[in-house]
Structures are given as structure tokens and as C-alpha cells.
Amino acid sequence: MNNLVVIIGPTAVGKTKISLALADHFKCPIISADSRQMYEGLEIGTAMPTKEELQQYKHYFVAQLTPDDYYSAARYEQEVMALLEEEFHRHPTMILSGGSMLYIDSVCNGIDDIPTVDDETRNFIKEKYEREGLEQLCNELRLMDPEYYEEVDKKNPKRVMHALEICYMTGRTYSSYRTRDHKKNKRPFNIIKIGLRREREELYLRINDRVDQMIEQGLIEEARRFYPMREKNSLNTVGYKELFKYFDGEWTLPFAIEKIKQNTRIYSRKQTTWYRRDEDITWFHPDETEKIITYIEKTIQP
């Protein structure tokens, strides 16, 4: 049987290092599950693999879109499944690695069958947002779908609005459409989930250090190039949106950098909370490379 090794963990935990080690061991490409590394030009802010790493190991779904392009978890699922069908002929074990929870879930379990929102409802929620603001929409979502309210990014208007669109249009909670019978989406390959974790203090130090390194590598200049496109969803990303406020004159540069660190730490907690619900994940410290390889070798289905 073919095997998909899925490397999971919060931002800055060390997924790239382990993925490269596994790609070298199994002599296979790496499929990225990072929704922002797909966009060309965002190399520094998304901690994209280096040019040397990309040349040494084949990576899929890295720098293949422009920031103007629209992309979704549903499209990602379709394209990854088609890619795996092709690659498994050459590589019986493949690596998928990243921190975008919905993208990983779409490949492992299939995408949710959520209804398409009609124009009337979409326009209604859009006008409501423009009239009442995001905070009021969040309060409404808390009443209409408390389950999804607890996990949604409450600073992301797109996700809050979409959940409310579903609630208004169908009379059901958005959460109810996201609860699937995973048996219906059983994959024709063995999935081995490897989770990477560090103690919170250790992870936070790594996050802070990485942000400082990004600034030294030219993140400010990179963000400034995309400032005219700041309204694009691809740029609604930690690192860029804080610097846009600096460019707007709302924040000082030191404050913006500190907010990047803070918001990255918050995002890492959301990722960790998401992963904890998955009992199929086997956890390791990122420094346990040999131990991880040994476990995978024992778990692979021939």
C-alpha cells in the first residue's frame, strides 16, 4: 500500500528540517501544506524553503501562484489527490508538511460539503458588515453558532462572514456542515501523522528569533513591494498586515515588529488547539529525527 507521511506542528516548531530529512531518507518529493507559501514573492514572510532546499528536494505547491490568485482548500484537495495518484507510481511513500490546518484536513479527510452561498445572502451579510462592523458580526456568530465562534479567527472578516452566510441561508449552523462521517472520505493510501511540539517557552523564543531574522533578511522591503495589494486575501497574513499599519502611519516600526511576534504566538496556540483534537497524531520533539524515521518505517504498510 502507498503511504502519506503528514508532518504537523505549529509555526516555527521545525517542520522544514524534519521534512527535508524524510525526503532524503525516502527519496521522495515534499508536498507543502502551507496556504501562504504558495504565493510567489512572499519568501521571507512565509519562511519559504530556501532556493538551495528547493533545488535539492522537489517541492510541490510552493511559489506557484501570484498574490492576485484565488485559492481554496477544496481546490487544494483536488490537486493534491491528483498529484498523489501520479507520484505514488514512482514513490510509494510521500511527504506532506505544513501548518495550514484546513489544507491538511482536506487531504486526510476530504473537504466539507458546504452549500454555495447565493448572491442575495452574500450581499446582505456584506452590507451588514459595512454597516455594523466586524465586532457585531462576531457577537451574532457567537449566538448563532457558538461552536464555530470558539475556533474562528475573529479578526478575519472573510471567515466570520462566510459562517454567517451559511447560518442565514440554510437555517443551520456552519459547524453542522463541517461535521463529517470521515468513513465516507476514506483515502486509498495509509496516512501516518507525525506531530512536532516543543515546550511553549522554547517555541515562543524560536518565534521571536525568527521574526528578528525575517526583519534582518528584508521583510520590511518585501512587505513594501506588496503594499499596493494589501487588500488581497493572500496578504491578510501575519507579518505583512502589521507592517502595512506601519506604512499607513498607524504604528511605529518597533510596535509593528512586536505585534508580528505576538500575533505569531497567538496563531501557534490556535494551531496547537486544532491538532490536539486529532487522536491519530503521534508526537515527537523536532530533534528526534532518527526516532521519527524509525517509527515511520515500522508504521508503513507494505
End position of a domain, from candidates 129, 149, 177: 177
pLDDT value for 195 = 98
The model carries a pTM of: 0.80
- Report the domain count for the chain: 2
pLDDT value for 180 = 52
Cell numbers describing residue 139: 457577537
108 and 238 co-located in one domain: yes
Which structural domain range is residue 172 located in?
119-177
End-to-end Cα spacing for the chain = 5
Q: Within a domain: residue 151?
A: yes
Q: Within a domain: residue 66?
A: yes
Q: Within a domain: residue 184?
A: no
End position of a domain, from candidates 177, 211, 226: 177
CA atoms of 8 and 105, how far apart (whole Å): 11
CA atoms of 285 and 198, how far apart (whole Å): 6
What average pLDDT values come out for the chain (302 residues) when binned by 10 residues?
97 97 97 96 96 94 92 88 97 96 90 77 91 95 94 92 90 78 71 97 98 98 96 90 97 98 95 91 98 97 80
CATH code at position 261 = 3.40.50.300
